[in-house]
Structure 1
Amino acid sequence: MKTVLSIAKRNAVLSSMAILLEQERANLKAVNQQDLTNYSGDDLAMEKRLLVDDAKIDGMILSLQQLTSQEDPVGKVRFDFTHENGMKISNKTAAFGTILIIYESRPDVTVEAGGIAFKSGNKILLKGGKESLLSNLKIVNLWHQALKDNDVASSWVEYLNYDRAETQAFLENPTQKVDLIVPRGGEQLIAFTKKHATCPVIVSGRGNNFVYVNQEADLEKALAIIINGKTSNISVCNALDKVLIDTNLPNWEAFANELVSKLKTFNVTILGDDAFAKATQIPVIENDLIWFEEFLDYKIVIGTTQSDEEAITKINKYCGGHSASIITENNEIAQQFMDNVDTAAVYHNASTRFTDGGQFGLGGELAISTDKLHQRGPIGLQHLVTNKWYVYGQGQIR
């Protein structure tokens, strides 16, 4: 059984890891180039997530530095009560124990998610994808060095180099106690994990985010927000996939054509519902099932609605429960939209690309949960804890 490491030890390991990443920057990039060379797939989003460049390493180091400076999330008193018989009762945050993180293609998760889980007092099991194996093993070696340098057992961070069959066997019959599993990746990975896991799973990562252009929208804002959401990074779960335009918007067809023109300059494939396709001469969608899809590509579907209520209903039916944004100058309508759309993050006149632990002031994230238990949206350091009741008595019996 592992006792929770002191906060001083946890912070020392994170600081050492940040220094090691800087020292090993060139070697890590060289190892990652081998992974990129070995990658034979044609998934552009996967390839972008696989790349480790200077900007990615800077992000890893910053994440560790921010984590080191944050308060210990373990042992926070959440509730205090004195029983009429004199017992002192309190509820405090506690580490989960062991957290398994299953992910595809992103070596930075080995640092950032691992760091958040470790700072929260947990043992970390990492199961990365085969396409990033060399990069992940290099980073785990750095974790082990950071642990060793601070007289902490290397077993606190463990890499599971398993194929699909071995992963399934471990999920169904773990060879060690696992308290929480976080799958980070596509819908197939999440479905596979949920199907076979024997402990709680936090569902993370599916986007299919919507922007709704209300009839009182500022169209310059709308264009900028849609272009940013769709094209700034196609490989992330907070990217934009769907746009709805209120046909009560004055001259909505002119706006629709301007939007199509702008998106085409970024080589985005555009599909529309009947009304939008007719107004812009773009291809019409084959059927409504496409509204459920997350693309992770330069692809977008744009449709029309005739009311705010219709937009809210459509978003709640098709979205992934991640993020949705309304573009309007009417604050009352915006608030109504935000209160009634059932997503983890709702926006007024801003890009869905901000749904991110670092952008929300959490100092990074373990994942973005589209579940409602136990935490929704970006899961930061302060959310990666369970709780425990402490009861102090002097011989009381009931």
Structure 2
Amino acid sequence: MTLRFRRTLAQLLVVALLLQLVLFGFLAGAPGALVGVVLGYLLGRLLPDLWALLFAAPSGVRITSVRYGRGRVLFSGTVRGVPVQLAWLPTPEFLVTWVLVPARALRSRLWLSSVGLWVVQPALGVWLVSASPGLVRGIGAALLVQAVGWMVASPATPVASFWAVVLLPFRPSAVTGPLWHPDLLRAELLLCRGRVREARQALDVLPADAGASLTALGVLLAEGRYAEAEEEAREVLRTGDACCHGVAYSGLARAAVAAGDAGELSREQVRARVDFALEALQAGSERALLRIVPQVADAALLSHRPEVAARYARRWAEAGPSPFWRADSYCSLASALGELGRRDQARAALAKARRLYPELARIRHVERNLEAAQERSRSEPALR
């Protein structure tokens, strides 16, 4: 049974149980019970993320980014050195990325943290259900049902999961493989914050076995070393875990597009590399691909569809998951607007990219291409 199927099954189970609670008398006659069920369901979705954020450091976990909401980004900055991004459309959960770092008794810390979560949520639910009927009882009932759903569809992760409670004591390998070197973590956080030179300095002092491939790929792309970035992406595809392949294919496409902007590859070479990377992702339709990687916009531009490219790039530029992705998408937007002859708008897009990620090398290449196109347009009337 796949994790996706188990999650779908758990969601159906939660919905069915909630309907039974509301429709068959457990909450009957209690004013505000239905509102309480909805609030409890939302709280149950948020509680594991909030728990992971609250107890990350004592558990040996380091948060690398926090994102809340969907759509246009309202705030992008750092809180205690961690990139934080807030979007305008609320969602029922946070998107938290984390890594494990070496620590004493790491497995015990992770297990205790997960046990704490799966004791607190059911206990809170029981206490609220035993309280006075109405809104409070609805919240408690939903928390209990949500806890059952998470037990059925718990992700196989050592952080704040029922999987960790049951299996972590018997699987030492769960926390030995993916441990991050402290300098690698520092390089990743610096890269996310746009401090590329400092990220490079942190990478340069890493030992050879620190597993820096994806972070190194990001630094190479930001620095403008596109041939090396392509090699790094191919190395990840050859030797890395399957979970890293999506990022590697995206990096492969991104390196090709930026190399084309820099004049290192012809348009035909860029298109061949981008098509190869997008086809390897096997997402199906163009719209399905757009939800995964922003290079669909570059593929549209390479196919001589600048209007479509501008629309796709704008979507990622306004709602991408990090300043790096958003700045790169603003570069793609500027290229598409340049082909449409909207050079003022293209320069405005580049200005936004520079504010988001001033050390991104691609900004200079696209800016130079826009200036060259403007010079050509000025010289053409004189030649005629």
- Do both share a fold (TM > 0.5)? no
More strand by share: 1
TM (norm. structure 2) is 0.30
TM (norm. structure 1) is 0.29
